Structure formats: structure tokens, C-alpha cells
């Protein structure tokens, strides 16, 4: 059944409604976890894998086709649509931390795609780069911090599922995945909706060309990490968010993610990859 968009004719809201419908459609076999490892309950696997598959298709090019150039949306309106997702309602029953948080500090996995992905080097404080004023404005900095994802069904993270079983010239095999232990206490900003993301960014703004990005230096002074949950991704991925302070740059988180802005790792255990 088609979803109504609360009487709105805005093209971006219509595109988001179609995305929620795609998320709520019955998972197809190829929308599973890609056979990266063995899994348990098939239903839980297919639901989470379906989210991974659907959201990974919403690239910047697809957003422009679906919603038009410069697609923007009000956070509250986006959240209204995402709250009606049957898929998110099903996932929260099995994996609430992916949907409502809080981040599970005992289940964070790191599967790198940079140099460490080729060499199997564990994460180290020496290689960790705290956000700094000289880095370019970015929603997801490539030159600072560290990204982890929560191990869930089958003890596999959504990020690892997104990478899939195969390699490429850009992301060659083998894959190395580490279970991380963090020194406590850890200060985590929970981002559970598009509205919360907008509030968070506007509390730590960095203006570039009339667009708002997070000021990650400011963020690093107030917390150790931010946890991006599935409702935020479903509602906001690829859309600029309109706020009284201006438009927030589009984000492409794809899957549940914790972005660490301060080094808090106390131990790392290799759980996937050739052992030396």
C-alpha cells in the first residue's frame, strides 16, 4: 500500500516515502549479508541485510535522480516518515541498539578499508588522528577519527555486511575485522533521528560556502564518539537538512556507525583475516 506524505507534494518527501516503501518491501534473497560468514536466524539476517542493500543504493547520483538537485528536507518531516517503517519496527525487536541505541561498547567492530585493510595492522593510538582545525570540512572525515559498527546477528557488523564477501581494486581482499575493547567511561552522543542529527550539527557548526558541516574539533571537546542509528540513516541519507541556522550538508552513513573522535581503544582482538 502506498504511503501518504501528509498532504505534501514536495519531491524530496515523495522520494523519501518511496525509500521507506523499499525498506518495508519483502527482502529478496540477494539482499542478504552476501555470505561473508555463517549466520543464525534467517529472518533477522534478511531484515538487517535488506536495510544494508536498500540504503547502499541511495548514492548521491540516485538521490539527485529521485529527489532532484539540491534535495532538502525538514528533519521533523523526514522523521515522521521514518517512524512509520515496518522494517525498523521489526529490527528493533531483535537489535534495539541499532535503532534506539545506546551504543554497545562491548560489541564494536573495526573493519578497515585503507592501508590497514591490506596489511592486517591492528588499530593503534599512534595511527589515530584526532580531528584538527586544518582538516577539510566533511560529514564523514577520511583523515581523522575511526569508524566502527556494532556486531549483531551472527557476530557481524552492518559495515562488514556492506563490504560483502568479495574484493575489488579499491577494496582488495583479505578483510581484517577486529573486536575492540574500550577504556571506560566513554562519552557517546546518540543520534537517533534526523532531528537529533540536525540539533547536533547546529550545536557544533562549521560553515563552508553557506552550508553547515560538523565542527569535529568542537565535537571532540564534548564527547568521545557519535553513534548513528538506523532511523537517522533511513530519514536523512542523501538529503540536505533545513534548519533555522541554514542547510546541513547531506550525509551518507549507509549503515549503523560509531565515529570515534578521541582514542578510547584499550584492546583489539582479530576475529577475521589471515593470522600471522
pLDDT tens-place string over residues 1-48: 333 333 334 899 999 999 999 999 987 654 444 443 334 455 566 888
Picking from 264, 97, 271, 98, the residue whose alpha carbon sits closest to that of residue 181 is 264
Residue 92 lies in a domain: yes
Cα separation of 183 and 168, whole Å? 35
81 found inside a domain: yes
> Is residue 200 domain-resident?
yes
Residue 61, Cβ density class (10 Å: 0-12 exposed, 13-18 middle, ≥19 buried): exposed
Q: Which domain range does residue 35 map to?
A: 11-272
Domain count, the chain: 1
Lowest mean pLDDT among 43-47, 80-84, 106-110: 43-47
Each residue of 154-200: pLDDT tens digit? 688 999 988 887 776 667 778 899 999 999 899 999 999 999 999 99
Report if residue 226 sits inside a domain. yes
| C-alpha grid cell, residue 245 | 541556522
Q: Which of 42, 45, 47 is nearest to 24 (CA)?
A: 47
Would you state the cell numbers that stand for residue 38, as one nine-digit string? Answer: 555463517
246, with CB counted inside 10 A (0-12, 13-18, 19+), is middle
Task: Specify if 134 maps to a domain.
Answer: yes
Amino acid at each position: 500500500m502506498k504511503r501518504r506524505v501528509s498532504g505534501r507534494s514536495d519531491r524530496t518527501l515523495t522520494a523519501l516515502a518511496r525509500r521507506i516503501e523499499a525498506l518495508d518491501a519483502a527482502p529478496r534473497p540477494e539482499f542478504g549479508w552476501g555470505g561473508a560468514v555463517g549466520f543464525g536466524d534467517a529472518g533477522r539476517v534478511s531484515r538487517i541485510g535488506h536495510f544494508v542493500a536498500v540504503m547502499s543504493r541511495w548514492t548521491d547520483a540516485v538521490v539527485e535522480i529521485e529527489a532532484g538537485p539540491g534535495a532538502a528536507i525538514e528533519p521533523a518531516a523526514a522523521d515522521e516518515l521514518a517512524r512509520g517503517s515496518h522494517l525498523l519496527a521489526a529490527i528493533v525487536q531483535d537489535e534495539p541498539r541499532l535503532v534506539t541505541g545506546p551504543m554497545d561498547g562491548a560489541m564494536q567492530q573495526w573493519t578497515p578499508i585503507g592501508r590497514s585493510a591490506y596489511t592486517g595492522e591492528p588499530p593503534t593510538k599512534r595511527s589515530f588522528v584526532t580531528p584538527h582545525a586544518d582538516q577539510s570540512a566533511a560529514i564523514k572525515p577520511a583523515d581523522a577519527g575511526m569508524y566502527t559498527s556494532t556486531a549483531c546477528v551472527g557476530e557481524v557488523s552492518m559495515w562488514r555486511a556492506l563490504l560483502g564477501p568479495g574484493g575489488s581494486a579499491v577494496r582488495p581482499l583479505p578483510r581484517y575485522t577486529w573486536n575492540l575493547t574500550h577504556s571506560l567511561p566513554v562519552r557517546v552522543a546518540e543520534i537517533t533521528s534526523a532531528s537529533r542529527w540536525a540539533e547536533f550539527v547546529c550545536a557544533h557548526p562549521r560553515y563552508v560556502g553557506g552550508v553547515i558541516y560538523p565542527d569535529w574539533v568542537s565535537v571532540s571537546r564534548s564527547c568521545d564518539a557519535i553513534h548513528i542509528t538506523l532511523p537517522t540513516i533511513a530519514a536523512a541519507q542523501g538529503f540536505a537538512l533545513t534548519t533555522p541556522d541554514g542547510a546541513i550538508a547531506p550525509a551518507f552513513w549507509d549503515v549503523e556507525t560509531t565515529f570515534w573522535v578521541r582514542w578510547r581503544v584499550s584492546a583489539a582482538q582479530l576475529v577475521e583475516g589471515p593470522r600471522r
